[in-house]
Structure 1
Amino acid sequence: MKLESIIQKDFIKISIPSERALAIETMKKNNVSELIALKEGTDSFLGILTIGDILSKPEEEQLALVLRREVPVINKKGSIEDALKLFLSGDFYYLPVVDNENVIGIISLKDILPVINKKYKINKKISELIDSNYFMSVWDKTPTYIASKIMLNFKVSFLGAFDESGKFVGILDTSDLIKSGEIISRVTESDATKGESGDDWDWNWKSSVLIGTSNFYLSNKPVLNYIKEGFSTITQNMTISETIEILQKDNTRYLAIIENKDTLIGILRDIDILKAFKCVI
């Protein structure tokens, strides 16, 4: 199968320059946590903007100073293996596809996983991926704002949530943070005062400048209000191929590995499963 067959020509994007309020509104509306950033009026690729990038610089209004520019792109004539190699070089969900330096579409992890799986059937079991599978977790009564700080400080895209009895109850990721937040616009007045004096005269003037800002406020409600409760589960005895089929069927990015009916022993993301195919590149 050629790369062109899995390119999404219709994708969510944002023009630069733009302000963060527009980016967050676009993410909330489309239930995504990453946007492809293009130069205004063109299809020229500038980078990828994530909600984590925005939250890490809460005072920065201009997206051009926030977005992630060191992101690989792939030519439309590239191979499936080329795309796999680029996905494994970082930790992102979208891979922009270019032609003559213009973005013509994107490929997502969701697009490439079943194609790679069909081409390279791997007999590995999930148990072989668990040893290096670590994740951060929080109490399900933790304020969502605090949970976001944990995600930013430890540079993770999701958290496992547990109740007071230690039972795993769901997953909170960056898209849930967007849903929990609220954009509040306000106008502030800035004063500038100047005075000069001379032998025969002096004068003063005062100027007021109105500055409009939009701030994104995360909820202080418990993460329990926003976590993904309908998570998909697998066992460590399942094969990689079986796991990919579940990801596709349930349309999810996360799989909870359960043992003895309700004991959580790990959480796998789509990119974690893609790493099982390192051997083919």
Structure 2
Amino acid sequence: MSTLLVSHLAKRFDSFEALRDINLTLQTGEFVALVGASGCGKSTLLRIIGGLETRSSGALEIDGTPIAAPGRDRAMVFQDYSLYPWLSVVENVRFCRTLKSFAKDQSQAAIGAAVRRANLLIDLMGLSRVRDARPDQLSGGMRQRVAIARALMAQPDFLLMDEPFGALDTQTREVMHDLILHVKEIERSAILFVTHDVEEAVYLADRVVVLAPNPGHIDSVWDISLPPRTQDLKLAPEFLHYKREITQRIRATSGMVSDRATLEALAGD
């Protein structure tokens, strides 16, 4: 079991304080969702953990080893898919095998194992019939499946997902929700998932972390205790309770004007 530890992490952009005193633990097999108002630093935190952004202070380590750059133990999935348009589905999935981090492991046995894993991931994602297609020939949901398969190719301990389903329609999102839960059970990677959709967070996560802005900090952590996830669960009272309470917490920390007297005063100016 691998453990990612974020301790007293902070981030500044010149005079702007984006994150302050972030403390978070993520272990193999866990699904943790980050939610919060716009500007609270969700994506910035994810990029720091992924090694795509530097931290200003604090500690970030995996199993006691400090990390400050991208690594094979972490893989990221973005909202915009980030696929290579000139490569086929299977070529995109296998792409990581061409990187320098794999250069020392190019034996025939290793290459054969990589080919088998790519084929298994393509099957798992339901992409077998389009394995030779290019990204521009695929739907949005299919493109995101390719991106997830590619991220899983290196068998990362931690899968970092930044609003991966934000551009998809409702029906496709529901399919992707059930697929990613299935993937989690099979792969056992820990998943850290940024979303603005509270319903999505409650449906997918074991824990929901609410970030508040000005500067970004952890406001509250919600352990989600629900039965096995099915789409019908979204109508259950306990599910709606989590959704309502977390949504209210985000509104309370957002800094947006919601006081009726203040709104009426503004209308009268």
TM-score by length of 1: 0.27
TM-score by length of 2: 0.28
* Greater share of helix: 2
* Greater share of strand: 1
Of structures 1 and 2, the one scoring higher in RCO (CA 8 A, sep 6+) is: 2
